[in-house]
Structure 1
Amino acid sequence: MFHVTVRDHFMAAHSFRGDVFGPAQALHGATFVVDASFRRPELDEDGVVVDIGLASARLGEVLADLNYRNLDGHPEFKGANTTTEYLAKAIADRLAERIRAGGMGEGARGLTGLQVTLHESHVAWAGYERAL
């Protein structure tokens, strides 16, 4: 299986509900480094997995809606604990929508999988992997 990964980041504020989150129940900020890996079993006719420039641009578009936002007030996340795991799935689903809509170019038709990893620090991260 071949894969190409692009990286970006976003900064957001949020809070959590539930005693399990301790002091993170209070509003706090986070800077997430985001890796999006696009997968396919064979390279396309040009010898690539996906256009890296388009992959980077689509990831940037997805993250722009989250950057410098208080996620507690974001309509898509109303009532949700926006954990790192939860956000990884939300970002993966948004990227998958752009792929289905043709926003990744002709070469994206052969993509079979997508993995999004959010690094919340240099020692902790979470991800979500889905089929396309």
Structure 2
Amino acid sequence: MTDTGTAAPIFSLQVDDHLMIAHSLQHDFFGPAQRLHGATLTIHASFERQGLDEHGVVMDIGEASQLLGQVLEPLRYQNLDEHPDFAEKFSTTEVIVHYVALQLAERLREGHGLRALTIEAEENPTARASVRLELSA
């Protein structure tokens, strides 16, 4: 196989999970979502690196899935209105993906070689939000 560019290609690995929560968004801006309601979010975590590691992967798929599950577990079936990490915040999909991304970035081991992490949440089949964090490799 011949590499046609001078820079190493950018690879990504995506793993998925889901999260069931309850919350309310206490502001007129949110209309009927001001009332307590449930939401099931499909969460996509994408890990990005320049080139592949010595094993020919971005990172181990099992490790990526496990790390995402560890981050989501404390939120599963919780009312985010009562969760201390969401106190004084609107628990919008955007705020949730940012929280998940920060928690996941903290759990990634040093020397992982990753350059970025993207978390996307599908709120319903026609709406999604995401955040991309640059990481130090």
Coarse TM-score class (shorter-chain normalised) = over 0.9
Runs of 5+ consecutive residues of structure 1 not aligned to the other structure: none
Structure 2 counterpart of 1:61, which letter? Answer: Q
Larger Rg: 2
* Cα distance between partner residues in 2 of 1:92 and 1:125: 15
- Displacement of 1:73 in angstroms is 0.3
* Cα distance between partner residues in 1 of 2:107 and 2:86: 19
* Cα distance between partner residues in 1 of 2:36 and 2:22: 7
Superposition pairs of residues 1-132 of structure 1, within 5 angstroms: 1-99=10-108, 102=109, 109-132=112-135
Runs of 5+ consecutive residues of structure 2 not aligned to the other structure: 1-9
CA-to-aligned-CA distance 1:103-127 (integer Å, 9 cap, x gap): xxx8x62101000000011110000
* Cα distance between partner residues in 2 of 1:15 and 1:3: 34
Structure having greater relative contact order (Cα 8 Å, sep ≥ 6): 1
SS of corresponding position for 1:23? helix
Structure 2 counterpart of 1:26, which letter? Answer: R
* Identical positions, percent: 49
- Displacement of 1:2 in angstroms is 0.5
TM-score norm. by structure 2 comes to 0.89
Q: State the Cα RMSD in Å.
A: 1.0
- Structure with a larger share of its residues in helix: 1
Poorly superposed stretches of 4+, deviation over 3 Å: none
* Cα distance between partner residues in 2 of 1:94 and 1:109: 16
SS of corresponding position for 1:32? strand
Number of paired residues? 126
